[in-house]
Structures are given as C-alpha cells and as structure tokens.
C-alpha cells in the first residue's frame, strides 16, 4: 500500500467515526445507533485491508464509503446546530448597535454608578474603537460627556 492509498484509507475511517456530537440525550440515542453501524463497517474495512491478499485499496475504500452512505450522520440535532440556534435567538433579541447596527453583545451592562453603560446601546467593537481613539479632539456619542466623566471618576482617553 502506497502513501496515497494509506491516506485514503485513513480518511475513510475518520469519516466513518468522526460525526458531530448530539445536542441532547434524545439526539444522542439516534447518534449512538448511527455510530454503532458506522463502527461495524469501519472495523470490517480494517480487517479486510489487513487480512486480505491481494489487497485492492480502491475497492475497499469505495465499499466502505458506500456503506457509510447507507448510514448518514443525519436525523438528529447536533451540538453545533443547537449552539448556532441559541446564538441566532440571542442576536435577534439584542438591540442593534446605535452606531454600526450589529447586535449588542452584552445588552444591559451597567457603568460603575449603576446606570446603563451607554445612553443608547453600542456593540463592543464600536466601544473599543471609541476608547482606542487617539485624536485630541475625539468626541462621540458613546463616550460620557466631560461632566459625566468627572462625576464618575473616569479618566479621559482623548
């Protein structure tokens, strides 16, 4: 077996075993049935390439891939899908940034005095961009007014 054939065989085994994690216990039951079938085919594949002479790697890899197609890693909700859905719901609930329109990462965060962090909400990127400004005449709606800054004990970053 040459290096390309070995790589192809290893990739087929990886594809058999490396399927997405389930989002819930119920989904994991479905995933476990899929994994069980795929492991059986991967073990059969490994036995056939290790114990069969003459060995035809192309045929064995194609056969394993055909068996994997019969047991696709579908029919259950994956962890990544659940995380993406949760993020989408949070983004939809977040107010848009008052400057760029992106979702606010931490709505409701407060300043040290307990008041809302900003008069209107801004995303972290816009706040960071504001706070990193080096222009001596920097003025923007994100920063507190000079009077508010003095009252709150903030140092000016301008």
Tokens 């045929």 — which residue? Answer: 59
Whether 123 and 105 have beta carbons less than 8 Å apart is answered as yes
Does the structure show a pLDDT above 90 at 21?
yes
The mean per-residue pLDDT over the stretch 137-143 comes to: 63
Q: How many CB atoms lie within 10 A of CB 8?
A: 17
pLDDT in tens, 72-121: 999 999 999 999 988 887 766 667 777 777 766 555 566 555 655 554 56
Q: CA-CA distance, 120 to 122, in Å (whole number)?
A: 7
Q: Which residues contact 22 (CB under 8 A, 6 or more apart)?
A: 28, 30, 31, 76, 77, 78, 79
């Amino acid at each position: 077996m040459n290096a390309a054939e070995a790589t192809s065989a290893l990739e087929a085994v990886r594809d058999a075993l490396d399927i997405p994690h389930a989002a819930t216990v119920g989904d994991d039951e479905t995933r476990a049935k899929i994994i069980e079938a795929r492991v059986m085919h991967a073990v059969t594949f490994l036995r056939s390439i290790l114990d069969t002479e003459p060995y035809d790697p192309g045929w064995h890899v194609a056969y394993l891939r055909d068996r994997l197609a019969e047991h696709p890693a579908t029919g259950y909700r994956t962890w990544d899908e659940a995380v993406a859905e949760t993020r989408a719901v949070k983004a939809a609930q977040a107010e848009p940034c008052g400057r760029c329109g992106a979702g606010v990462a931490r709505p409701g965060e407060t300043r040290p005095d307990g008041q809302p962090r900003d008069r209107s909400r801004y995303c972290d990127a816009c706040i960071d961009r504001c706070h990193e400004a080096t222009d001596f005449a920097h003025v923007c709606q994100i920063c507190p007014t000079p009077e508010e800054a003095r009252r709150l004990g903030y140092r000016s970053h301008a």
